[in-house]
């Protein structure tokens, strides 16, 4: 399926895709991430069930310590 990931076009070789799948396929190994699908936040506990669909706009941000 074709999606937009962090403003880049990506083709993911899957028919069905959850957030957890995407993070695995695209090798996001960093623990502290923020995920948004079409502008809506996806919470950590929803990663395994939240589905990404054809044409979705997905943003994955890294969070780091310091303040």
* Contacts with another protein, residue ranges (CB under 8 A): 32-34, 36, 39, 41, 43-44, 59, 61-67
Alpha-carbon distance of 17 to 42, in angstroms, equals: 14
Q: Which is nearer to another protein, 14 or 43 (by Cβ)?
A: 43
Q: Which is nearer to another protein, 12 or 50 (by Cβ)?
A: 50
Alpha-carbon distance of 12 to 19, in angstroms, equals: 12
Closest approach of Cβ 1 to another protein, in Å? 22
Q: Which is nearer to another protein, 13 or 65 (by Cβ)?
A: 65
Distances in Å between the alpha carbon of 11 and those of 2, 23, 32, 47? 4, 14, 24, 20
């Amino acid at each position: 399926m074709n999606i937009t990931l962090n403003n880049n076009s990506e083709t993911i070789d899957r028919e069905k895709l959850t957030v957890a799948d995407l993070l695995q396929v695209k090798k996001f190994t960093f623990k502290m991430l923020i995920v948004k699908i079409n502008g809506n936040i996806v919470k950590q506990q929803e990663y395994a069930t939240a589905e990404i669909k054809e044409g979705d706009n997905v943003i994955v941000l890294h969070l780091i310590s310091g303040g």
